[in-house]
Amino acid sequence: MKEKMSYEEAFTELERLVVGIEDPERDLSGIENDVKRAMELIEYCRSAIRGEQEKIENIINKSDLSNENI
Amino acid sequence: MDDRKLYTLYQLQSDISEVLAEAFTDSLWVRSEVSECSVNRSGHCYLTLVEKEEKSGRLLAKCSAVIWAQTYRILSAHFRSVTGSDIVAGMNILVKVQVNYSELYGLSLNVRDIDPSFTVGNLELERQRTIARLSEEGMMDINSSLELPALPRSLAVISAETAAGYRDFMEHLHGNQYGFTFATTLFPAPMQGAEAPSDIIAALDTIAQRIDEFDAVLILRGGGSVMDLVCFDDYELALNVAQFPLPVLTGIGHDKDYHVIDMVAWHNLKTPTALADFFIEMFVHEEQAVAALISRLKLALKSKSHRELALFDNMKVRIRSAVSLKASEALRRVDLLQTRLIAANPRTLIEKGYLVVLKDGRRIATGAELVPGERLKVMFSDAVVECEVISSEIKNNAI
């Protein structure tokens, strides 16, 4: 996954992939990579909505602070 | 020198007092701005009234006034019921006064009556002027043209720290039933009074220095009287909100009408709680949008795998029919073999008059090797006859 991708970018790409996958002309074997990427993006969007990146960053920041304190 | 008329100070003052009393026998209505106002322990209200030049704000006139306790009790109650506020500095008022000159205290206006609707109307007039000026300067749509991220999580909040509205907002936002997480940072500022606009502007300036940390700025106040909220009609404040580089959202508790900063803000909501809902809804909306894409994806994959399954089923049919085709061919071959078999059956031949000759129990088809004296069996359809070879003669074409 690209670094520092914004939620908006991820959502737009996901939407585009889903539209592509919905294309009746494309069969299962040809969309394998798109489906994989879509799954990654879904996970990314879900964790962005749920604020999981921030949670992790907070934990990292806090541990940085506590290290400084030591 | 001696023909000069000498006054004592008291005489002069009483003359002035007399002249004034004659000139202003009736009380009269005066409009002015309150620059100072205090109520003493006895309940008398002392005012300093001023008039400023409209454009420059330069002081044109100044006079003290008093509302005696007995009158003040009645007037202040009436004033508060109409404007929602006490008489405070900065307000424009219309008062009915009696001019009074005291030898000891000088000129003073004795307030007999007050018209609160003037104060309200004056505020409205000023508000309209501010709105017109901001529109003219193109300030109305500047902030709202900024982009608010789809997931605004880091919020800078300007509010009074102890305000009920702020507490409601925090409880509502952080206690949302969906479990979305937000990071709020409070920039405390008083939300009423003459100092409020400049303090809110100062808070905005502080936020501007940390702009990368935030997605939006929120200005909260949990309601109040017309006069309490008058600070949100301030021109300078509105100008700062309009030009702020982050979206500014307001949740100023009122349900009657807009304030000027509501009009220049990115978005305004009626209460701090409604503002919290607004942010929560944004996250709900995004989660639903992602869920919709997930189900579309599932559906697409399902229909594709169904199609693949259908293709597979079709293949099975073809295989089966191919197999059955092959099977019938095989059957035909068997039939043919059977026919040939039947045709080749010795019994059939015997019945047709051909003979089967057995030597030592085995069918023989040639006689060239037979020697005289050898015993053979000849099979007829109805009997087996034993014979002896008498002689043999080799022929190339016996039959």
B328 sits in which H/E element? helix B272-344
Residue B218 binned pLDDT confidence (cut-offs 50, 70, 90)? very high
Provide the token pair at B344.
């080749």
* Residue B371 burial (C-beta neighbours within 10 Å; 0-12, 13-18, 19+): exposed
- A14 Cα to chain B: minimum distance (Å): 8
Partner A contacted by B287 (CB < 8 A):
yes
* pLDDT of amino acid B288: 93
Read off the tokens for B247: 């979206």
Mutate to test the interface with A, among B297, B306, B307 (most CBs of A within 10 A): B297
Neighbours of B358 (CB within 10 A): 14
Compute chain B's Rg from CA coordinates: 57
**Residue B324 forms contact with A (CB below 8 Å):** no
Q: Inform me whether the pLDDT recorded for A56 exceeds 70.
A: no
Number of Cβ within 10 Å of residue B165's Cβ equals 22
User: Region B216-241: what's the mean pLDDT?
Assistant: 87
Its pTM stands at 0.64
Rg, C-alpha atoms of chain A: 17
User: Which among B182, B289, B308 has CB closest to A27?
Assistant: B308
- The pLDDT of residue A59 is 57
When pLDDT is averaged across residues B248-267 and rounded to a whole number, the result is 84
The predicted pLDDT at position A58 comes to 61
Q: Which of B305, B264, B330 is nearest to A35 (CA)?
A: B305
E strand or H helix at B327: helix B272-344
Chains A, B: CB pairs < 8 Å: 63
Q: Does B19 touch chain A (CB under 8 A)?
A: no
| CB contact B355 to A (< 8 Å) | no
pLDDT band per the 50, 70, 90 thresholds, residue A65: very low
Distance of CA B105 to the CA centre of its chain: 63
Q: A22 and B296 in contact by Cβ < 8 A?
A: yes
Angle at B182 between CA B181 and CA B184, to 5 degrees: 155
Cross-chain residue pair A31–B294, CB shorter than 8 Å:
no
On whether the CB atoms of residues B217 and B210 are closer than 8 A, the answer is no
Number of Cβ atoms within 10 Å of the Cβ of B131: 19
Looking at residue B224, its pLDDT comes to: 73
Q: What pLDDT sits at residue B124?
A: 85
Whether residue A64 lies within 8 A of chain B, CB to CB, comes out as no
Contact across the interface for B308 and A28, Cβ inside 8 Å:
yes
The shortest CB-CB distance from A54 to any of B153, B296, B308 is to: B153
Q: What percent of chain B has pLDDT over 70?
A: 93
Q: For a pLDDT cut of 90, what percent of chain B falls above it?
A: 55
Taking an 8 Å cut-off on Cβ atoms, the answer to whether A14 and B283 are in contact is no
Distance in angstroms (rounded) separating the CA atoms of residues B149 and B282: 10
Beta-carbon contacts of residue B191 (< 8 Å; ≥ 6 apart): B159, B160, B163, B200, B220, B221, B224, B231
Reported as a single tens digit per residue, the pLDDT across B125-152 is 888 899 999 999 999 999 999 999 999 9
Burial class (CB in 10 A: 0-12, 13-18, 19+), A57: exposed
**Integer Cα distance of B63 and B53 in angstroms:** 15
For residue B345, what pLDDT is reported?
66
How near does any CA of chain B get to the CA of A64, in Å? 18
Q: Which amino acid is at B214?
A: F
Region B318-324: mean pLDDT is 74
pLDDT at A55 (0 to 100): 61
Max Cα separation, chain A?
61
Please indicate whether, in this complex, the C-beta atoms of B294 and A11 are within 8 angstroms of each other. no
How many Cα atoms are found within 13 Å in the side-chain-facing hemisphere of A43? 7
Chain A positions touching B305 (Cβ under 8 A) are 28
**pLDDT single digits (tens) A11-48:** 999 999 988 888 888 877 778 888 889 889 988 988 88
The Cα–Cα gap between B142 and B33 comes to: 33
- A18 vs B contacts (CB less than 8 Å): 293, 296-297, 300
Average pLDDT, rounded, for chain B: 87
Beta bridge partners of B101: B107
- Position B316 scores a pLDDT of 72
Nearest CA-CA partner of B218 in B146, B150, B156, B153:
B156
Q: How confident is the model at residue A1 (pLDDT cuts 50, 70, 90)?
A: very low
* The most confident of A5-9, A52-56, B359-363, by mean pLDDT: A5-9
Higher pLDDT, A23 or B112: B112
* Residue whose entry in the numeric block shows the structure tokens 């001696």: B2
* A35 contacts in chain B (CB < 8 Å): 297, 301
